[in-house]
Amino acid sequence: MQPRTHLTRPLAPAGALLLATALLTAGLTGCSSLSPFNTCDDTAARLKDLRSQSILDSAPEGATAPKGLDSVDSHCIDDSGDAWLYAARVHAFPGSRQEVVDFYRTTAEADGWRLQHDPSDPDTPETTAGLCFTKGGDGDALLLTVQFTTARQLKIEHGYKAGPEFDSGSGFEIEVGSETDGAKTGCFD
């Protein structure tokens, strides 16, 4: 008995027409059937590199890591369409925000990080806005941020109930981030 090829042949032009229509529609609407975005697949080595950045182990004298937040937290997140890698630490500091700013300006710049300034908001002091640095080139680019935090923000962002260490002084979070492929990125792009 011969195979029934006559049943599949008429479907081939219809299938081709359907595929062509889908591709044309995708092209006209600016959509693509192939995602142009990076994902978290195969990012373990890059995350390990972020966690090992020596700046994450640097903190002003007297800074402490709160219990439960005392290690580097690192993840790949891809909920916005394009994946982002980060490694971060949280510290409580009994001193002023200015001392934190001064410490990281000196320490980061000595380690090759370049301080960036927000061109759209040059009048906001660093003690409010925090700091942002870049390092590396395309393929190994990194972003470093130092942001001030409060007990309330820690509760919202990390589900962490801060103790008395955040009642006086300055809490801050330091984060090293990167595109999954190390593509060059800026602080205020």
Residue pLDDT, tens place only, 61-99: 999 988 888 899 999 998 877 899 999 999 999 999 999
Domain identity same for 133 and 95? yes
Nearest Cα neighbor of 90 from 47, 154, 144, 133 is 154
Domain identity same for 71 and 163? yes
pTM: predicted TM-score of the whole model, two decimal places: 0.77
Residue 55 contacts residue 107 (beta carbons within 8 Å): yes
Rounded to an integer, the average pLDDT of 140-151 is: 94
What pLDDT, on the 0 to 100 scale, is given for residue 78?
87
Domain assignment of residue 185, yes or no = no
Question: 25 pLDDT exceeds 50?
Answer: no
The structural domain count of the chain equals 2
Domain identity same for 85 and 24? no
Domain identity same for 20 and 104? no
Domain identity same for 106 and 147? yes
Distance from C-alpha of 146 to C-alpha of 172, rounded to nearest angstrom: 7
State which residues form the domain around 18.
1-34
**Res. 37 pLDDT band, cuts 50 70 90:** low
Buried b (16+ CB within 10 A) or exposed e, 92-131: bbebebebbbebbbeebeeeebeebeeeeeeeeebeebbb
